[in-house]
C-alpha cells in the first residue's frame, strides 16, 4: 500500500483460486477477471499474475490452430481438385 496523506495511491492483494482443473477453465478465469477489472469505475484497476501469460497463450494457440487447419483443408481441396479429375475422389483425398 502506498499512502500519501490520507489517500491510497496503490494497493496490491492476492487472490487464490480453487477448482480450476484445465486450460479452458484458466482461460475463462482470465477473461472473467479482466472483465471485472474493466467494469471498475472507481479506480484504475488491473489484474496480473505471471501465469496469465500462459493462459493467454493457450487461448491464442487454440484459435490459431483451428484457423490453420481450416486454411490447410481448403488448400488441400483446391490442389486435389486441380490434380484429380473426379471431384468425389478429390474430396476423399482431402478428408483422408
Per-residue pLDDT of 18-43, as tens digits, reads: 888 888 888 888 889 889 888 888 77
CA distance 26 to 71: 28
pLDDT of residue 47: 85
CA distance 56 to 27: 7
Cell 481438385 found at: 81
CA distance 95 to 18: 41
pLDDT of residue 95: 84
Residue 43: domain span: 2-95
Closest of 70, 69, 78 to residue 90, by C-alpha: 78
CA distance 38 to 17: 20
Q: What beta strand segments (E) does the chain contain?
A: 2-4, 7-10
* pTM tops 0.75, yes or no: no
Domains: count for the chain: 1
What is the band of 70 on the pLDDT scale with cuts at 50, 70, 90?
A: very high
Amino acid at each position: 500500500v502506498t499512502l500519501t496523506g490520507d489517500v491510497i495511491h496503490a494497493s496490491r492483494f492476492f487472490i487464490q483460486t480453487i477448482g480450476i482443473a484445465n486450460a479452458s477453465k484458466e482461460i475463462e478465469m482470465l477473461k472473467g477477471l479482466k472483465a471485472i477489472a474493466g467494469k471498475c469505475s472507481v479506480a484504475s484497476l488491473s489484474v496480473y499474475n505471471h501465469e496469465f501469460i500462459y493462459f493467454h497463450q493457450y487461448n491464442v494457440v487454440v484459435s490459431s490452430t483451428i484457423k490453420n487447419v481450416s486454411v490447410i483443408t481448403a488448400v488441400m481441396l483446391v490442389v486435389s481438385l486441380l490434380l484429380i479429375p473426379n471431384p468425389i475422389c478429390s474430396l476423399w483425398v482431402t478428408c483422408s
